[in-house]
Structure 1
Amino acid sequence: MMLTKPVSGAGKVAAETPPDRDRAVDVARLAALVVVMFGHCALLLATIDTAGLRIGNLLGEMPAIAPITWIVQVMPLFFLAGGAAGAYGWHQSSSWGTWLFKRAQRLCRPVFWYLAAWSIGIAVTYQLLGADSAASIGRECVALLWFLGVYLVVLAFVPALTRMSTGRAVAVAVVALIAISAGFDAIRFAVGAPMAGVANFVIVWLIPMVIGVAYARHLIGPRAALVAAASAFVVQLVLAAVGPYEVSLVVTGTERISNVSPPTLLLALHCTWMSFLFVAAAGAIRRWAQRPRVWYVVAMGNGGAMTLYLWHIPAIAVATFTLHAIGLDAYQVDAPYFWAILALRAVVFAVVMAAMFWMLSPLEHRRLPWWDAPVAATGVRSTAAGLLIVLAGVALVLLAKNGLGDLHGLMTLGCFIAATAAARICAGPKQQSPQPVTA
């Protein structure tokens, strides 16, 4: 859809783009999003038989291909892009909580639409298919919201991270976060409980945020970034070979030790080398994105990035079960034409996703009454608004973990809505300047 736009349209978008916009960050965000979408499409194994719906994972069936996750695990680029964008948007005169709330306004708007749609869908499923089916769908439809929840939490650190003023400070921060993540892993392994390392959800994902802020403030040179990337990658290789960690950097459903839920030291090193590698390549990426056609695609994709992220799993489901209806299931990896059917699913998914993008991406830009009203709180009210946004992020992580299809999920959803609403109240309406009194 986007690739067939006339050159005049591409030229117009390029001409309207501010000259100081960092196009490399936008390329990183969209490229990561495309990898995530088609990666999920490839990993899903699904069919329906007399026993009901069966869902598997390609990595679970073919563990030998787990090393490919070191390439397709691109979530660090999302956080790096968020850190850079946050650093560009932060000013010392800003009030922390109000600044954070303003960023949450844009981020949460499409999430409200998404949760409203799925709440209705789950209610209908409950009436038609029962509580078990509603709970199953409720788990799947909100699983990806963990990213937005963690993102809202680590975004709150950006103003403090902008105080870094040297490359040495960046190095100390990154090394410290890596060391802390190792410490929480040690606790996790010692007590035998994965959730003992839950703090790594913040510690590990802060690493690309730190590097993103440093990149935006020109604290890291390309050569130093390349050396840091190579060093972190070598350490990750050694740790994967001799340490207690599994190779896969995504959820497989069969792993003994998950590297992502909660994150581990192995993922921390992955975040480090991938983020530094982007910094080293940013100049070349920026020059490539100057091309009008390239920038048109990047700009349009970023304009609906949350739509792509939130709705690509439903689009994969539509593609999968459309093919199932005509007898083309990608479920048994050793079945004839498995890889051809998987490729066909990717094509059908691309068509479905393009249609959903066209229909739903305008909702990202449709301002919501009250929620999107201007804000300008300062002092205690601003701080309260920021803390409530962080609380809303935690609620989203819990919602992603527990699902939406039961009473516990509904209570977590209620906490998210209550926290965002309370943050909106604390942020307050933008104060109008008093009008001078005339005689």
Structure 2
Amino acid sequence: MPLSELTAATPTARQRDRAVDVARIGALLVVMFGHCALLLATIDSGGVRISNLLGALPALAPVTWVVQVMPLFFLAGGAAGAYGWHAGSPWGSWLFTRAQRLCRPVFWYLAFWTVALLVTRLVLGAESADALGRESVALLWFLGVYLVVLAFVPALTHMRTWRSVAVVLVALLSATAVIDAIRFAVGTPEAGLANFLVVWLIPVVIGVAYARRLIGPRIALGLAVAVFAAQLVLAATGPYEVALVVTGAEHTSNVTPPTLMLALHCTWMSFLFVAAAGLLNRWAARPRVWRAVAAGNGGAMTLYLWHIPAIAIATFSLHAVGLDAYNVHAAGFGWLLALRELVFGVVMAVLFRLLSPLEHRRLPGWDAPVRAAGARSTAAGALICLAGVAVVALAKSGLAGVAGWTMLGCFVAAAVAARVCAAPPKA
């Protein structure tokens, strides 16, 4: 679908919440250009060398409290899901219809990397293919967690008052703290895996409450300030690190798995969005702004999936002409980093133009109508959740070794099985 048609086909503000769309595309731009800034890479006689800007300059860690914007993706998903849910709809069929659009570009992405890694294995050997495979799907953790938390949206729409929202949020924050205590007592990150669900449910809850107008902007602003202050106290007194993204140098990550530090961050950032939503809606009402926001949201998964390959293209193209942004102490490092951001923006724009139509190209079988009810609908929803868990495991192991390829097979199998269950029953 041409970009002009895609924009024209996007619903107007009377049919959807523009602030949610602004939050989604704004957060995506921060993630894309943030990842480009964090990457330090070069090639020397020892091969490819990759490090992290925050690992090289730990003093920048507090900046992550601003650029860690993943809560806004989950909030947008919760709000959009609440807008799209209708009481009495079959839960599993509703969830599968949302997975159809989300997974369509992922299938293309995984097909590309399957072929690319097979070629790499033949040309450069198994070690190079495995190294590339571990990086190629790392960001898919978001899709996996998103599919699972989305399954809770219909239940969350039963919240009717601000008090019920507060009870759910306190329960989630308390559960996060308990899971953290177990994790620290056991001494392994695996003991905190449940927080992948518990923590990322927090912005979904606030997104649903926002869509149902259960939180006013003034209350939201006050809560955002209070929770932010609590996070400052926790950072100063608790056993947590400051950085809210992976740095490569942390002892205890706040994101893999998430911790109470990230849970508080999710809470205040989500409340801050609710407080600012009115301003965002008025700003997005400008025709030029809305056109850009609509176009970006129409290819959001393309931007998310392909921005890491775009960063790699920009980085190693500049390396080829001797313009590496690798040594943070070298003269002109800031200018080299800015140049890479610029080149990345151009590369990403080209990839977006070429690949975003795949998000709207219906796949035979996968995009057939969904009319399952009863047990078939429930099975379809459960299988989508299982597919999400498989994607999280795939992101962890990468497309490498038996575990990685097995998780890919599990994801595809669960998705196909969900499609079969969601099909209309035979007459």
Q: Give TM-score, length-normalised by structure 1.
A: 0.95
Match of 1:67 among 24, 37, 62: 62
Match of 1:214 among 205, 209, 227: 209
Partner of 1:283: 278
Measured in 2, the distance between the counterparts of 1:113 and 1:65 equals: 36
Following superposition, which runs of at least 4 residues in structure 1 exceed 6 angstroms of deviation? none
Partner of 1:56: 51
Match of 1:227 among 222, 226, 241: 222
CA offsets 1:346-368 (integer angstroms, 9 cap, x no match): 00000000000000000000000
For residues 29-428 of structure 1, the aligned pairs below 5 Å read 29-428=24-423
- Secondary structure at 1:54's aligned position in 2? strand
Measured in 2, the distance between the counterparts of 1:77 and 1:15 equals: 21
Measured in 1, the distance between the counterparts of 2:384 and 2:210 equals: 25
- Secondary structure at 2:255's aligned position in 1? coil
What code does the residue aligned with 1:233 have?
F
Measured in 1, the distance between the counterparts of 2:176 and 2:279 equals: 32
CA gap 1:16/1:73 in 2 versus in 1, 3 angstroms: closer
What code does the residue aligned with 1:141 have?
S
What code does the residue aligned with 2:53 have?
L
What code does the residue aligned with 1:222 have?
P
Contact 1:376 1:431 in 2 (8 A): no
Contact 2:10 2:294 in 1 (8 A): no
What code does the residue aligned with 2:93 have?
T
- Secondary structure at 2:138's aligned position in 1? coil
Partner of 1:436: none
Contact 2:217 2:276 in 1 (8 A): yes
Measured in 1, the distance between the counterparts of 2:300 and 2:11 equals: 19
CA offsets 1:388-429 (integer angstroms, 9 cap, x no match): 000000000000000002222111100000000000001113
Cα deviation for residue 248 of structure 1 reads: 0.2
CA gap 1:230/1:135 in 2 versus in 1, 3 angstroms: same
| 2:424 corresponds to 1:429 | yes
Measured in 2, the distance between the counterparts of 1:66 and 1:312 equals: 23
Report how many aligned residue pairs link the two structures.
425
Structure 2 unmatched runs, 5+: none
Contact 1:375 1:430 in 2 (8 A): no
Measured in 2, the distance between the counterparts of 1:405 and 1:195 equals: 20
Measured in 1, the distance between the counterparts of 2:405 and 2:11 equals: 43
What code does the residue aligned with 1:332 have?
N
- Secondary structure at 1:144's aligned position in 2? helix
What code does the residue aligned with 1:46 have?
A
Contact 1:96 1:386 in 2 (8 A): yes
Identity %: 71
Structure 1 unmatched runs, 5+: 433-439
Cα deviation for residue 83 of structure 1 reads: 0.1
| 2:20 corresponds to 1:25 | yes
Cα deviation for residue 19 of structure 1 reads: 1.5
- Secondary structure at 1:257's aligned position in 2? coil
Contact 1:14 1:296 in 2 (8 A): no
Measured in 2, the distance between the counterparts of 1:338 and 1:397 equals: 35
Contact 1:232 1:273 in 2 (8 A): yes
CA offsets 1:67-114 (integer angstroms, 9 cap, x no match): 000000000000000000000000112100000000000000000000
What code does the residue aligned with 2:331 have?
P
CA gap 1:267/1:330 in 2 versus in 1, 3 angstroms: same
Q: CA RMSD in A?
A: 1.5
CA gap 1:296/1:431 in 2 versus in 1, 3 angstroms: farther
342-351 vs 224-233, which deviates more?
224-233
What code does the residue aligned with 2:258 have?
P
CA gap 1:165/1:15 in 2 versus in 1, 3 angstroms: closer
- Secondary structure at 2:243's aligned position in 1? coil
Partner of 1:437: none
Q: Give TM-score, length-normalised by structure 2.
A: 0.97
